[in-house]
Amino acid sequence: MQGSKRRFTKKSAIKALLKLSAISAFSISLLACSGKTADEHIEQARVFAEQGDTQAAIVELKNAVQENPQLAAARFELGKVYLSTNKYDSAEKELSRALELGQPAADVIPLLSQAYQRTGANVALSELEIDESQLTSVERLEFGYRKLQSLVQLEKNADARNLIDDLLLIESTSVYRGLVSAVQQVLNQDFPAALEVAKTLKAQAPLNRDVLNFTARMYILNEQMGEATKVYEDYIKVAPDDIEIKFGLANILVEQGETERAEVHIDDLLAINSNNALLNQLKGVTRAAAEDHAAALEYSENSIKFGRADPTSRLIAGYSAFKLGEFEKAVGHLAFIAEFLPDNHPGLRILAASQLQANMGDQTDEVLARLDNITAEDASLFSRAGYELLKAGDEEAARTVIEQAEKISETADDLTRLGILKLSLNDVEGLLDLEQAVDKAPESVTAKTTLASAYLSTGQLDKALALAKEWQTAAAASVDGYLLQAEVEQRQDDFVASQSTLDKAKTLAPESEAVQVAQIRLYLRQSKNEDALTATEQLLSKSPSNIVGLASYFALKAQKGNSAAAYEKIKAQQAANPDNAPIRLLTARAAIATNNVNDAIDVLDDINADKSSPNQYWALYGSALLRANKVNEAETHYNKWAELYPNQESAVLGQLLILDGKREYEKALNIATNFLVRENNLQVQFIQAYLYAMNNRLTEAKNALKNIDEQYIQLPFLRGVKARIALLENKPEDAIDDAKVAYDANRNINNLLVLTRAYDLTGKSDLSFSVIKAHSNDAPRDVRVLMLLGERQIQKGSIVDAMSTYEQVIEITPNNFVVLNNLAYLAMEEGQLDKAAELSKRAYDIRPDNVATADTYAQVLLKQDKVEDAVDVYKRAITDEVKNEEILLNFVESLLLSGNKLIAERRLNELSLRSPISKDRAEQLKKDYDL
Q: Using one digit for the tens of pLDDT, what is the confidence trace for 587-598?
A: 999 999 999 999
Nearest residue to 214 via CA among 11, 13, 6, 8: 13
| Residue 891 within a domain | yes
Of 68-82, 584-598, 775-789, the poorest mean pLDDT is in 68-82
Domain that holds residue 895: 883-931
- Does residue 738 sit in helix, strand or coil? helix
| Residue 912 within a domain | yes
Q: Taking 90 as the threshold, does the pLDDT of residue 916 lie above it?
A: yes
| Residue 759 within a domain | no
| Residue 896 within a domain | yes
Of 102-116, 385-399, 792-806, the poorest mean pLDDT is in 385-399
| Residue 435 within a domain | no
Q: Is 215 exposed, middle or buried (0-12, 13-18, 19+ CB in 10 A)?
A: buried
- Does residue 241 sit in helix, strand or coil? coil
Q: List, for residues 273-292, the tens digit of each pLDDT value.
A: 888 888 888 888 888 888 89
% of the chain residues with pLDDT over 70: 87
Q: List, for residues 680-726, the tens digit of each pLDDT value.
A: 899 999 999 999 999 999 999 999 999 999 999 999 999 999 999 99
Cβ pair 785, 772 in contact under 8 A: yes
- Per-residue confidence band for 130, with pLDDT thresholds at 50, 70 and 90: low
The Cα 897–Cα 577 span in angstroms is 73
Stretch 907-918: mean pLDDT, rounded? 90
DSSP assigned state of 708: S
Q: List, for residues 144-199, the tens digit of each pLDDT value.
A: 787 787 777 777 888 878 888 878 888 888 888 888 888 888 888 888 988 888 88
Q: Which residue has the higher pLDDT, 55 or 667?
A: 667
Q: Taking 80 as the threshold, does the pLDDT of residue 728 lie above it?
A: yes
The Cα 608–Cα 769 span in angstroms is 50
Q: What pLDDT score was predicted for residue 158?
A: 86
Q: What pLDDT score was predicted for residue 639?
A: 95
What angle is formed at CA 579 by the lines to CA 573 and CA 580, rounded to 5 degrees? 60
Q: Taking 60 as the threshold, does the pLDDT of residue 27 lie above it?
A: no
Q: What pLDDT score was predicted for residue 527?
A: 92
Of 164-173, 611-620, 650-659, the poorest mean pLDDT is in 164-173
- Per-residue confidence band for 373, with pLDDT thresholds at 50, 70 and 90: low
- Per-residue confidence band for 1, with pLDDT thresholds at 50, 70 and 90: very low
Q: What pLDDT score was predicted for residue 201?
A: 86
Q: What pLDDT score was predicted for residue 28?
A: 28
Q: List, for residues 538-577, the tens digit of each pLDDT value.
A: 999 999 999 989 999 999 998 888 989 999 999 999 999 9
Kindly list the distances between the CA atom of residue 97 and the CA atoms of 24, 29, 58, 75, 126, in Å, as whole numbers in the listed order. 18, 18, 16, 7, 18
Radius of gyration of the chain (CA): 46
Whole-prediction pTM value? Answer: 0.59
| Residue 522 within a domain | no
Stretch 397-415: mean pLDDT, rounded? 67
Q: Taking 60 as the threshold, does the pLDDT of residue 409 lie above it?
A: yes
Q: Where are the alpha helices (DSSP H) in 425-479?
A: 429-440, 445-457, 461-474
Stretch 402-415: mean pLDDT, rounded? 67
Kindly list the distances between the CA atom of residue 602 and the CA atoms of 274, 545, 597, 734, in Å, as whole numbers in the listed order. 51, 20, 9, 50
Q: Taking 90 as the threshold, does the pLDDT of residue 603 lie above it?
A: yes
Of 18-32, 286-300, 325-339, 898-912, the poorest mean pLDDT is in 18-32
Q: What long-range pairs does 727-733 form, CB within 8 A, spacing at least 24?
A: 727/754, 727/757, 727/758, 727/761, 728/693, 728/696, 728/698, 728/701, 729/698, 732/757, 732/758, 732/761, 732/762, 733/758, 733/762
| Residue 533 within a domain | no
CB atoms within 10 A of CB 52: 8
Q: What pLDDT score was predicted for residue 699?
A: 95
- The phi, psi pair for 782, rounded to 5°, reads -85, 100
Kindly list the distances between the CA atom of residue 638 and the CA atoms of 625, 651, 653, 692, 828, in Å, as whole numbers in the listed order. 10, 6, 9, 22, 46
Q: Taking 80 as the threshold, does the pLDDT of residue 39 lie above it?
A: no
Q: Which residue has the higher pLDDT, 746 or 24?
A: 746
Of 41-45, 168-172, 381-385, 436-440, the poorest mean pLDDT is in 381-385
Q: Which residue has the higher pLDDT, 527 or 81?
A: 527
Q: Which residue has the higher pLDDT, 642 or 307?
A: 642
Q: What pLDDT score was predicted for residue 21?
A: 28
Stretch 43-51: mean pLDDT, rounded? 74
% of the chain residues with pLDDT over 90: 39
Nearest residue to 610 via CA among 652, 644, 654, 650: 644
Q: Taking 70 as the threshold, does the pLDDT of residue 767 lie above it?
A: yes
CA 281 to chain centre: 26
Q: Taking 60 as the threshold, does the pLDDT of residue 811 lie above it?
A: yes
- Report the residue count for the chain: 931
Q: Taking 50 as the threshold, does the pLDDT of residue 464 lie above it?
A: yes
- Per-residue confidence band for 930, with pLDDT thresholds at 50, 70 and 90: confident
What angle is formed at CA 781 by the lines to CA 780 and CA 782, rounded to 5 degrees? 100
| Residue 926 within a domain | yes
Q: Please state the domain count of the chain.
A: 1
CB atoms within 10 A of CB 188: 11
Of 220-229, 441-450, 882-891, the poorest mean pLDDT is in 441-450
Nearest residue to 543 via CA among 579, 567, 576: 576
